[in-house]
Amino acid sequence: MASERRDRYARVILDLRTRALDRTFDYAVPEGLDGQVRVGSCVLVTFAHRPAVGYVLGLGDEPSDGVDPARVLPVSQVLADPLFDEAAVGAMRWMAAEYAAPLLEVTRLFCPPGFTARTERDPRTGAWRLRRDETREVDDRWVSLTEAGASYVPPTSASRQRAVLAALSQGPVRQAELGLALSGAAAVVGALARRGVVTVERRRRVRGADEVRLSSAAAPRRDVAELTAGQRAGLAAIQRAVDARRGDVVLLDGVTGSGKTEVYLAAIERVLAAGRDACVLVPEISLTPQTVGRFRARFGDQVAVLHSRLSVGERYDQWDMVRTGVAHVVVGARSALFAPLADPGIYVIDEEHEASYKQGSVPRYHAREVAAHLARAHGAALVLGSATPSMESLARCEAGEHRGARWTRVEMPERPSARPLPPVEVVDMAREFAQGWRSMFSRALTAALAEVAEHGEKAVLMLNQRGFARWMLCRDCGYVPSCEHCSTSLTYHERGHRLVCHTCGAEYPVPAVCPECGSHFFRMSGMGTQQVEDRLREQLDALVGGTMPVIRMDADSTRAKGAHERCLEAFDAAPSAVLLGTQMIAKGLDFPDVTLVGVINADTILKVCDFRAAERTYDLLEQVAGRAGRGDKPGRVIIQTYQPDHPAIRAAAEHDRSLFMAPERAIRREAGYPPYTRLANVTCWGASRDDVVRVAGQVADELRATLADVRGAEVLGAVECVISRMQDRHRWHALAKVPAEAGDGLGARVGAAVARVRVPTGVSIAIDVDPYDML
């Protein structure tokens, strides 16, 4: 009987980018498709009299509340086997609410790389099917020797046959490879196949695997004889977290080079031995062959790699290795979180403080929070590692608990090599200037570069370039004007020649001389990598006559595929060189022979209008300082700054985090910033300034209304954004602050509040929960 059929209704989210449709619709599962329509299936349905592609997020015996079964249309066709499972659907729904993000956009995160909802008709059957371009599987022809072929002796005249047989003696070879080595190989293979000497079979190619395989050669397995005390403590804590099966978190708080990666490897080994899977996130920029190679060297073909520098086809094949259960370890950037591991037992996030774990576009999720959710959902452990943990994670460890999971911090204060952290010298650039030294390289840095050049060593120079916001700086005393009400640095606006606070909107006149010291050298600041490179070359030419290479690494020089690796390889291969780069050089690089690390301008990021600016400065300085003296030669670090007494700089110089944390905590608590609050930033933009201002004002009103009952909640704005115009669009924003203990469900509240605002065409709204970028 029909009424006994189960799962007769599918809840389908349509792949149509219309905000009003961002929910599931019921479709009936026709008898003919019983058992084929499953959670995660990609289906063809009819919507508004047209075919539409959708994803099944749930099944039920009854229609959803309020849905008239007589009006439910049937699923027309199943286009693809399940792309994700029920646990993934739970995570999607959580993410959509947590980040006030469209469910469709979240759903698409869990679809295979390169997946598109475009359809075409199968020319033979006339049925619809998904168009698969990059995600089509690719086969290779593999040639192997048959048993009979092993005893085949080619005629002495057949030199090409002999060459082919020699190539095959070690095992099967791709026909394409034979073709590269030997012209006309295909004909020879054909002839041998007809004689039964060889066979040719098609095998699926796993794109991306070659790169991975090469990388493991780059990092031969270095067996660690004995773990340090810190490593053993970390491993034991992780084991407890894995066994607890409720999403417990272990924060490995270990200085650079303390052996955190070694701990991840050991922990993953145990998880794999228990038959479960592992997911490892590394910042995109640190996903070098070196890094991937360490995982490949340990876990071999079980490792899949996912990051944006791979082609779509490569990513698809790597993803598919996970789906088919060939790979049990996925190593990748943020999006690797969504790879379809069958039974994740451990999530690892290396350099957990990195801002790149926050996605800048919709859906604006933070990988750490999503990983914590997934770990809870799968009964897995979450391991966070950093030499400079985020203030959020440190606060949770101090509380011991967050959202039902236990948070434990394990310190790893020592390097196994017992190599001490390098000494750091802080140079006060204002004093240099006062003493008549006008170069961007201080006397100390110039002398150190000369020494490196003379001894044929290597140096890394970092130029801070974050933030296109412009600020005023006194070259004499380093003074930077800040808001009287917010303690954020003021931004200079050409229009109206004024200084503006982008937290509260206050405006100030531009002082003609430094209000601190009266100096006339009170100017705009800012400097490009190219400019610094030119000066550096001049300097080095004067020292060693142009023999020392300068390798520049910034967003421009590393845009092309593989450029990043080539820069690093060039630096690695050079006997003596200077690597000059933006903050991208601070992370993960492990070159043993760097003896000097210089930071040209530690201040720029202190001044970006962002409450995390000081924390980022501290992180960056501590990380970059860790690049010096990794090998046999001792290293040294020189930091140039106009704020030698700033806690972020002093803490990095002394390698003592508490010097920074204590004052920074007081500031955050006082000003109401994370980790003491949760924030949600709502940005409105459009061509009509009046419309944008009105909508932003309404957003702020709705936010105030929805948070009225939350004690200590506050809404700032609406005010103009720091970047007040972008591509001829006016930009305004409102910022909601909620005490951390009342922070759960903030996204859902803000989403509902914003949904109540009537938005005219031409105005767009973006909600960012736990924002990192509020410019």
Binding ligand ADP (rule: CB under 6 A), the pick from 72, 227, 550, 759 is: 227
Tokens of residue 133, six digits: 């371009």
- Is 49 in contact with 88 (CB distance < 8 Å)? no
Footprint on residues 439-478 left by Zn ion (CB under 5 A): 474, 476-477
Give whichever of 275 and 518 is closer to Zn ion, judged by the CB atom. 518
Q: Would you list the DSSP string of 191-222?
A: HHHHTTSEEEEEEE--TTHHHHHHHHHHS---
- Residue 474, contacted partner among Zn ion, ligand ADP, none, CB below 5-8 A by kind: Zn ion
Is position 222 an interface residue for ligand ADP (rule: CB under 6 A)?
Answer: yes
Q: How many CB atoms lie within 10 A of CB 96?
A: 23
Q: Using the rule CB under 6 A, is 224 a contact of ligand ADP?
A: yes
216 binds ligand ADP (CB under 6 A): no
Binding segment (CB under 6 A) for ligand ADP, from list 85-93, 218-226, 681-689, 764-772: 218-226
| Pairing, β 344-350 against β 329-332 | unpaired
Query: Is residue 259 a contact point for ligand ADP (CB under 6 A)?
Result: yes
| Cβ proximity of 613 and 584 under 8 Å | no
CB of 412 to ligand ADP, least distance (A): 7
Q: C-alpha angle 665/668/673, rounded to 5°?
A: 140
Closer residue to Zn ion, CB minimum distance, 422 or 481: 481
Task: Give me the phi and psi of 554, to 5 degrees please.
Answer: -145, -175
Does 519 contact Zn ion by CB under 5 A? yes
Residue 434 vs 544, nearer CB to Zn ion? 434
Q: Smallest distance, Å, CB 264 to ligand ADP?
A: 8
User: Coil, helix or strand for 280?
Assistant: strand
CA distances (Å), origin 391, targets 150, 260, 365, 381, 602: 65, 19, 18, 20, 20
Query: What are 427's two structure tokens?
Result: 């140079």
Binder among 77, 107, 215, 258 for ligand ADP (CB under 6 A)? 258
Shortest reach from residue 71's CB to Zn ion, in Å: 55
Given ligand ADP, Zn ion, none, residue 227, with its beta carbon under 5 to 8 Å by kind, binds ligand ADP
How many residues touch Zn ion under the rule CB under 5 A: the total is 15
Selected from 228, 465, 489, 557, the binder of ligand ADP by CB under 6 A is 228
Burial 498-531 (b: 16+ CB within 10 A, else e): ebbbbbebeeeeeeeebeeeebeebeebeeebee
The nearer residue to ligand ADP, 129 or 232, going by C-beta atoms, is 232
Residues between 102 and 131 with contacts to ligand ADP, criterion CB under 6 A:
none
Residue 657, Cβ neighbours under 10 Å: how many? 18
What residues does 120 pair with on adjacent strands?
129
Structural tokens at position 73:
């249309």
DSSP annotation of 336? G
Task: Tell which one of 41, 107, 215, 256 touches ligand ADP (CB under 6 A).
Answer: 256
- Asked whether position 485 contacts Zn ion by CB under 5 A, the answer is yes
Question: For the residues of 380-443, what is the DSSP string, one character each?
Answer: -EEEEEESS--HHHHHHHHHTEETTEEEEEEEE-S-TT-PPPPPEEEEEHHHHHHTT--SSS-H
Residues numbered 412-471 forming contacts with ligand ADP, rule: CB under 6 A = 416
Round to whole Å and give the CA distance between 582 and 554: 5
Q: Which is nearer to ligand ADP, 258 or 489 (CB)?
A: 258
Q: Which of 450, 506, 574, 759 binds Zn ion (CB under 5 A)?
A: 506
Say which entry of Zn ion, ligand ADP, none residue 503 contacts (CB below 5 to 8 A, set by partner kind): Zn ion
* Binding map of Zn ion across residues 582-611, x = CB under 5 A, - = no contact: ------------------------------
Compute the half-sphere exposure of residue 712: CA atoms within 13 Å on the CB side of its CA. 15
Binding site partner of 516, from ligand ADP, Zn ion, none, Cβ cut-off 5-8 A by kind: Zn ion
Q: Closest separation between CB of residue 699 and Zn ion, Å? A: 20
* Least distance in angstroms from the C-beta of 380 to Zn ion: 43
CA distance 133 to 611: 44
In whole angstroms, the minimum distance from the beta carbon of 427 to Zn ion comes to: 18
Q: Which is nearer to ligand ADP, 298 or 730 (CB)?
A: 298
- 288 interacts with ligand ADP by CB under 6 A: no
CA dihedral 80, 82, 88, 92 (to 10 degrees): 30
Of 288-296, 333-341, 508-516, 585-593: span binding Zn ion (CB under 5 A) = 508-516
Q: Which amino acid, 294?
A: R
Q: Does 262 bind ligand ADP (CB under 6 A)?
A: yes
Q: Which of 96, 23, 90, 102 is nearest to 748 (CA)?
A: 96
Residue 72 neighbours by CB distance under 10 Å: 16
Nearer to ligand ADP, 383 or 474 (CB): 383
Residue 79 or 329: the one with the smaller Cβ distance to ligand ADP is 329
Q: Is 483 in the site for Zn ion (CB under 5 A)?
A: yes
Token code pair at residue 344: 């994740």
Q: Which does 259 bind (CB under 5 to 8 A by kind): Zn ion, ligand ADP, none?
A: ligand ADP
Which tokens is 1 given? 């009987």
- Measured from the CB atom, the residue of 317 and 414 that comes closer to ligand ADP is 414
If one asks whether residue 587 binds ligand ADP (CB under 6 A), the answer comes out as no
Place of tokens 């219309």: 18
Residue type, 623: Q
Q: Decide if 16 contacts 45 (C-beta within 8 A).
A: no
Nearer to ligand ADP, 552 or 655 (CB): 655
Stretch near Zn ion under the rule CB under 5 A, chosen from 144-152, 167-175, 354-362, 497-505: 497-505
Pick one of 85, 177, 428, 516: the residue that binds Zn ion (CB under 5 A).
Answer: 516
Which of 222-230, 396-404, 528-536, 644-652 is the region at the interface with ligand ADP (rule: CB under 6 A)? 222-230
Q: Does 716 bind Zn ion (CB under 5 A)?
A: no
Q: H or E stretch including 343? A: none
Distances in Å between the alpha carbon of 418 and those of 226, 243, 431, 601?
14, 32, 36, 30
583 binds, among Zn ion, ligand ADP, none (CB under 5 to 8 A by kind): none
Binding of Zn ion at residue 504 (CB under 5 A)? yes
Question: What are the residues binding ligand ADP (CB under 6 A)?
Answer: 222, 224, 226-228, 231, 254, 256-262, 416
Residues lying near Zn ion in the complex (CB under 5 A) are found at: 474, 476-477, 479, 483, 485-486, 501, 503-504, 506, 514, 516-517, 519
